[in-house]
Amino acid sequence: MTFIQNAFHNLHPLLQITFIICVSITGMGLAVFFGTYISAWCCGTGDTLPELMSSLMNLELKSGICATLILNSLNQILGFAGAGFAYAMLHGPGRGVGFSQNGGNEHLFKFLIGAVIITLGFSPFLDLSYRLNEWLLVDGSTLHSMAAALEAEAARITQAMLQMETSNQFLATLVAVAFLPAICEEWLFRGALQPLVSKWSGNIHVGVWVSAIVFSAIHFQFFGFIPRMLLGAGFGYMVVASGSLWPAVLGHFVNNGVAVCAAWWLGPEWVAEGMNPAATVWGTTESISAVIGLSAILASVVWLKPKVNFKELQP
């Protein structure tokens, strides 16, 4: 293994990035392969790829929703976590690399608390940046039409996954939509791509923002590109400040988990409304929420800033 690690370390950072991307794409292909048979066994979708694709298009049936959750989970594990794990093994322990705690901040627990507060406080600004994002894509333009089509399909899939009737469905959705993405996506984007780009560019900020841009783009929801990018950058700086992936994982889980819990309690009407924040008017309630959220974020940053060792933030 040492020989393989040495060979990997001797590669140019761009080649290392290319290799990790290839591992991720391979994992996504394996997710579809295994997902076909697992979905047939668990959901009754048939054991061929055309049958699986037909079920995925028919989300009015429980078998289609079941297959979507399984395929999403396998993609997270094999495509994202698999690539993150490969980088962690090839690189070895290092600050901000995977789940390595080497060089981690001694105030990690406080950063975990701060991650929850900052994530919740940022929620109103996700709504506001979504509106800005849609406004920037000029209505009627080709780009807006393409983005709208992708957004509509993503909303259809999300609404289907968040239609939960039993506690078992709620738990399965929480795992597939919140728990696995929090671990697997952070493992790849903040635990592998971010340090790789930082090493390549020689600048930690470039690493944070490039990984955030790729993180947002991979979701193929371009009305929400800016808010997801900002959220990804926030997670990236949590990793930089704490030296650990766990604050980003917790923040990611809180962000997704709150949506799943709200859908469970408030029902499909809330889900449908939440899929298009720009359809509602930004009023007094939203403004007050934004002020409270901003205050919470600033207070958390001021509280955590003295606990960051800035000498350790270089790539």
Mean pLDDT value across residues 129-144 = 68
* Residue 276 in this model has a pLDDT that exceeds 90: no
Same domain, 208 and 288: yes
Q: Which of 77-91, 135-149, 246-260 has the lowest mean pLDDT?
A: 135-149
How many domains does the chain divide into? 2
Same domain, 112 and 169: yes
pLDDT in tens, 171-201: 988 999 999 999 999 999 999 999 999 988 8
Q: What band does 207 get if pLDDT is binned at 50, 70 and 90?
A: very high
Question: What's the number of CA atoms in the CB half-sphere (13 Å) around residue 272?
Answer: 3
Same domain, 118 and 85: no
Same domain, 73 and 144: no
* Average of per-residue pLDDT values in the chain: 83
Same domain, 136 and 6: no
pLDDT in tens, 10-40: 888 889 999 999 999 999 999 999 999 999 8
Own/partner contacts of 31-40, CB < 8 Å, gap of 24 or more, are 31/71, 31/74, 31/75, 31/77, 31/78, 31/79, 32/71, 34/74, 34/78, 35/67, 35/70, 35/71, 35/74, 35/75, 38/70, 38/74, 39/66, 39/67, 39/70, 39/71
Mean pLDDT value across residues 52-81 = 87
* Residue 313 in this model has a pLDDT that exceeds 60: no
Q: Which residue has the higher pLDDT, 46 or 228?
A: 228
* Residue 205 in this model has a pLDDT that exceeds 60: yes
Same domain, 172 and 290: yes
* Residue 312 in this model has a pLDDT that exceeds 60: no
> By residue range, what is the domain housing residue 300?
98-312
Q: What band does 307 get if pLDDT is binned at 50, 70 and 90?
A: confident
Q: Which residue has the higher pLDDT, 309 or 17?
A: 17
Same domain, 16 and 121: no
Cα distance between residue 252 and residue 239, in whole Å: 12
Q: Which of 83-92, 206-215, 219-228 has the lowest mean pLDDT?
A: 219-228
* Residue 104 in this model has a pLDDT that exceeds 70: no
Cα distance between residue 138 and residue 164, in whole Å: 35
Residue by residue, DSSP assigns 7-31 as HHHTS-HHHHHHHHHHHHHHHHHHH
pLDDT above 70: percentage of residues in the chain: 85
Using an 8 Å Cβ cutoff, are 119 and 194 in contact?
A: no
State the pTM of this model. Answer: 0.88
Residue 248 CB coordination number (10 Å): 30
* Residue 148 in this model has a pLDDT that exceeds 80: no
Mean pLDDT value across residues 140-168 = 75
Q: What is the pLDDT of residue 285?
A: 76
Same domain, 67 and 110: no
Q: What is the pLDDT of residue 282?
A: 67
Same domain, 72 and 174: no
pLDDT above 90: percentage of residues in the chain: 34
Domain end marker among 61, 92, 123: 92
